[in-house]
Amino acid sequence: MKTLSESEGEGALATRETIERTYRERGRGFLAWARRHAPDAATAEDILQDAFIRALANADALSPVEDLAAWIFSAMRNRLIDLWRGAGSKRKAGAIELPEEILEKVAVEAGLDPQDQLQRNEILAALEVAIDALPAPQREVIRAQALGGIAFRELAEATGVSIDTLMARKRYAIRKLAAALEYWMDE
């Protein structure tokens, strides 16, 4: 009899194989799309690699995803949108580009560790991806109860789902999120 963690491990392995197969079979098409929309070829390649790296890092959480290619495309599109938004916001705010050494020096003198902030941002992005990959009922409970602070009783009344079922959904979601973020906890 297989334990739950062995079954999850097999699911993650199968998902990783699907991710690799998707990269081999559709990577060129994804890259072509990215090159048409990105400001340059290097950025297009970065967007493609970022999407597949995120998928591999979150293979446990992606096992319930039925259309992995669509998920990869969405991750690429979202990354491209983030890049364009960031560039537009910077221009509107009158931002100027400073050398990285100066930024690091200012941050260190202010008592901030830029590496900590970078890691926090990456973990939050991974968490967002993992939450988006949850089955809808689990995702809704996590967003409403854990992130939104809505009590189980209120949520049960609003949805018509029993408190026990909502608590079970949250428990399953937390297990999947923990497995998806295990990569970040090892570092």
pLDDT tens per residue, range 10-23: 767 888 888 888 88
Over residues 147-173, the pLDDT tens digits come to: 788 888 988 988 899 999 999 999 888
| Domain hosting residue 140, numbered range | 113-187
Name the one residue in this structure whose structure tokens are 């990215």.
34
Q: pTM of the full predicted structure?
A: 0.43
Domain boundary (97, 129, 147) is at 97
Domain at 147, CATH number: 1.10.10.10
pLDDT tens digits, 24-45: 998 898 898 888 888 888 888 9
Last residue of a domain, one of 39, 71, 97: 97
Q: What is the mean pLDDT of residues 65-78?
A: 82
In a domain, residue 144? The reply is yes
**Residue range 83-132, pLDDT digits in tens:** 777 655 455 444 445 566 665 666 566 565 656 666 667 777 777 888 88
